[in-house]
Amino acid sequence: MIEIRNVRKSFGNHEVIKGVSLEVKKGEVLCLIGASGSGKSTMLQCINGLEPIQAGEILVDGISVHAKSTDLNLLRQKLGIVFQQYNAFPHLNALENVALAPRIVRKMRPKDALEIAREHLDYVGLSAQAEQYPTSLSGGQQQRLAIARALAMKPDYMLFDEVTSALDPELVGEVLDTIRKLRTNGMTMIMVTHDIAFARESADRVAFFDGGVICEIGDARQVITAPNKERTQQFLQRVLH
């Protein structure tokens, strides 16, 4: 599981995460919702060790992410992360993009890495685009390519940071369908999203971030349809109407 214990994170004098604690169990899907600047995306980056923390502890399967003794490169093989920017290598085709990390990080033979890449492109519905370069793919296809690239490292957990926010509305569905498929297959996921309907439908739990703290957390349908806290009610009324 992922355990977050009283984590604090600051940028200079500005504290963006103020003592957050939560646990995410294997097979669970947790959505982080809240206004921009509330600390959601920063929390994901702290979980993956991309940002240092000032206090507290984050454990992934019992391994302390920010301990000096932790091999972050090894630990990150457990944690796939997908951002709203696709970050594909433009000089490599889709197949080569997905095969790159297994070949370099996992030291796979090129033939085996390409086989893994084909498998994961098929998983996200991009088999027909294997030889295409990222610039010739639609936004939705590029985002699915990013998901395939993360999955090719065979992570135990997937972190998604606003993966549909940069897409045209008609392309959002194909990415969400891929995430639904991952959920059906039992992938543990933490997702930052502004898509409240998707969070209600697909998450086990929802955590509402406000001002760097978790204002409310609980069953996704309960929190979104009948929140207990007034601040959560105000936020949902604003984004749902």
**Residues 58-79, mean pLDDT to the nearest whole number:** 94
pLDDT at 111: 95
CATH number of this structure's domain 2-240? 3.40.50.300
pLDDT at 116: 95
Record the tokens describing residue 220, joined without a space: 């996704």
Domain ranges of the chain: 2-240
- Cβ atoms < 10 Å from Cβ of 166: 14
**Residues 87-103, mean pLDDT to the nearest whole number:** 94
Which residue in the block uniquely carries the two structure tokens 């519905």? Answer: 125
- Give yes or no for a contact between 147 and 178, defined as CB atoms under 8 angstroms apart: yes
- Give yes or no for a contact between 88 and 146, defined as CB atoms under 8 angstroms apart: yes
pLDDT, tens digit, 9 for 90 and up, residues 196-214: 988 998 899 999 999 999 9
Q: pLDDT band for 153, please (50, 70, 90 cuts).
A: very high
pLDDT, tens digit, 9 for 90 and up, residues 167-198: 787 788 888 889 999 999 999 999 999 989 88
Q: pLDDT band for 84, please (50, 70, 90 cuts).
A: confident
Backbone angles phi, psi at 237, to 5 degrees: -60, -35
pLDDT, tens digit, 9 for 90 and up, residues 17-52: 999 999 999 999 999 999 988 999 999 999 999 999
More confident residue, 69 or 165: 69
The C-alpha atoms of residue 42 and residue 66 are separated, in whole angstroms, by 15
Closest CA to 60 of 71, 47, 77: 47
- Cβ atoms < 10 Å from Cβ of 24: 21
**Residues 146-164, mean pLDDT to the nearest whole number:** 93
Q: Considering just the CA atoms, what is the radius of gyration of the chain in Å?
A: 18
Q: For the chain, what is the mean pLDDT?
A: 93
Give the global pTM.
Answer: 0.93
Closest CA to 215 of 201, 196, 234: 234
pLDDT at 149: 94
pLDDT at 221: 95
